Structures are given as C-alpha cells and as structure tokens.
C-alpha cells in the first residue's frame, strides 16, 4: 500500500497548495520511507481537512456511477427548491467510486457526474460549496470545463466556506460568481512536483540500490538517486506548461475580471479576502450562509 501511495505522491505534477503538500510529506514521509524527511525551502505545513473544526459540510468513461443513480431515481446532490448544492471539499482526486466528500476527498469523477445531472431542466441554479487546498492534475481541467459549460447554461456560484487553493480555485473560478469569507484564503495558481531523494540516507545505512533496466530513461527520477539536472529541467518545463494552461482556464472562467496575464502575475501566491477581491480572484467577501440564502431566494423566485 505504501508503494502505491508513494507512486501517486512523488514525481507527479499536482495542483496543490505547497503547504498542504509539505504537511503530507512531513506527516507521512517517515512512515512511507522509513527515514526522516528533510523538506528543502519549506514554508511550514498546514493541517487542513474539509468541514473540520466546525466548518460546514455540503451535503469517467461510461459514467457507471451516474447510471446507477439514474436507475434508482436518485438525485446525486442536495437540492433546496430549484437549487442544486455540489460540494468541492478536501483533497481533489481523479477517480473515486463515491459522490461528494469521502474520507476528506472529492473525486473529479463523482463531481463531473453531479455536474452532468445538474444540467437537467428542473435544476435552475447551482451552488458549489468549496473548501479545498487542491489536488491532482488529471481530471481537474476536464471538471473545470464541465463547470464552465454549466455556467453558460444557468446561474452558478462558488461559495468558499474557508479556502479554495490551486485545483480548488481552478474549479471555483469557472462559476459565474465567487464569494469568500472574510478570513478565508484563495489563489495558488501554480503547479508542483515533489521528488524524494533517499540516496543520502541509504548511503549512511550502507545500502546500495542497483537497477537492471532496458532503455536509457527507464529509471529516470527514481527516489534512490539524486534528481538529474536534465530531468529537473524537463519537469520544470512541464509544470510551466501546466501553469500556463491553469492561468488560461482561470481567464476563461473569470473573463474580464481576471486576464491570463493577471493570473500568471499572481506567481502562485495565496491571498486573503481583501487582496483576492482587489486582484479579481473573487467577486465578493461575506457570509457563506447569507450568500447562499440570497442565491437560493433569487433562483427560486425566478423558478
């Protein structure tokens, strides 16, 4: 199991807030590797779990999960009047055979299934309740496109109950409006890859790892050797390309409120409510409950 977690964690691009990634490495690193972990240029981790500490909780191919809901006549999200409530909470992962939040995770798979069914005529508006430090790249841009298309068809609003960082903000930015709380946070429009180098610890323990491989690049980036400069450059180019795409997606969702150049100019920084409002990351600062009540009242009045 630990090998599987390492394969997902290291040497892969992520749309995470870096402090969330650092917290995971500090907490799980020794358990996963059997060695103490040094985080180079760390900022201090953050222990964030969606809907913890009193924070309120909101309710792929072939769409097997969605068809199962349809067969049983079940709506895969909570509704108040004509308004659907779709949660985007916790760590965002590509696949997951569940709907909504499970064990602190939201899957893009489950999220996209809900978005597809929110396009039904009986749903007049959609609230995305967001509290996430981000997650995986794979599946994220597709989910963002789904939200953007939904927002062209009917009113949508992203209400941050606390945070929307990185992939969390990517998704929130595709709603027609974004409201965040006074002491929340948002931004981190960037991409991160973590590489773990265990070679020093192994050398101290008198352990030497040898790979027998065919193909020059078969073992590139393995965690038992320092990261080669050429691979570092390759990964750097990869994350720059993804960041450029990220900024472009934000602009598509925000329109004139946030240009692609403006998104890039944030340099993946994180913003408090007033600064987020100033630079165009959000549309309003206020109570999540009040924003929700006002949106529901307006949609149900029209519906």
What HEC string does 232-269 produce?
A: HHHHHHHHHHHHHHHHHHHHHHHHHHCCHHHHHHCCCC
- So what's the pLDDT on residue 288? 95
Contact between 154 and 122 (Cβ < 8 Å): no
Contact between 134 and 14 (Cβ < 8 Å): yes
- So what's the pLDDT on residue 55? 40
Select from 186, 190, 200, 213 the least CA-distant residue to 275: 186
- So what's the pLDDT on residue 301? 82
State how far the Cα of 223 lies from the Cα of 64, in Å rounded to an integer.
36
- So what's the pLDDT on residue 56? 41
* Domains present along the chain, CATH in parentheses: 1-303 (3.90.226.10)
- So what's the pLDDT on residue 139? 94
Identify the segments of the chain with pLDDT beneath 50. 44, 51-59
The 10 Å Cβ neighbour count of residue 138 is 15
Name 141's Cβ contacts closer than 8 Å, sequence gap at least 6. Answer: 170, 245, 249
- So what's the pLDDT on residue 58? 39
State how far the Cα of 145 lies from the Cα of 88, in Å rounded to an integer.
15
State how far the Cα of 218 lies from the Cα of 216, in Å rounded to an integer.
6
Contact between 292 and 159 (Cβ < 8 Å): yes
State how far the Cα of 15 lies from the Cα of 247, in Å rounded to an integer.
12
pTM score over 0.85? no
What are 14's strand-pairing partners? 136, 192
């Amino acid at each position: 199991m630990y090998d599987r977690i390492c394969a997902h964690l290291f040497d892969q691009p992520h749309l995470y807030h870096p402090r969330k990634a650092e917290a995971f490495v500090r907490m799980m690193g020794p358990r996963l590797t059997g060695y103490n972990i040094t985080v180079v240029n760390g900022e201090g981790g953050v222990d964030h779990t969606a809907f913890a500490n009193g924070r309120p909780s909101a309710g792929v191919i072939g769409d097997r999960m969605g068809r199962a809901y349809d067969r049983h006549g079940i709506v895969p999200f909570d509704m108040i009047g004509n308004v659907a409530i779709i949660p985007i909470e916790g760590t965002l992962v590509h696949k997951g055979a569940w709907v909504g939040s499970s064990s602190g995770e939201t899957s893009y798979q489950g999220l996209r299934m809900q978005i597809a069914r929110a396009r039904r005529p009986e749903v007049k508006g959609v609230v995305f309740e967001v509290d996430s430090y981000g997650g995986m790249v794979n599946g994220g841009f597709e989910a963002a496109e789904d939200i953007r298309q939904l927002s062209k068809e009917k009113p949508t609003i992203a209400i941050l109950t606390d945070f929307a960082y990185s992939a969390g903000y990517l998704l929130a930015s595709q709603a027609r409006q974004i409201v965040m709380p006074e002491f929340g946070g948002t931004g981190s429009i960037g991409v991160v890859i973590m590489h773990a180098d265990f070679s020093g610890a192994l050398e101290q323990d008198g352990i030497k790892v040898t790979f027998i491989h065919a193909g020059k690049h078969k073992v590139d980036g393995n965690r038992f050797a320092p990261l080669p400069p050429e691979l570092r450059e390759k990964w750097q180019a990869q994350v720059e390309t993804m960041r450029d795409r990220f900024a472009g997606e934000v602009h598509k969702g925000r329109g004139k409120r946030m240009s692609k150049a403006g998104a890039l100019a944030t340099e993946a920084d994180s913003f408090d409510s007033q600064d987020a409002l100033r630079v165009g990351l959000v549309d309003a600062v206020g109570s999540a409950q009040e924003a929700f009540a006002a949106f529901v009242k307006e949609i149900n009045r029209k519906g």
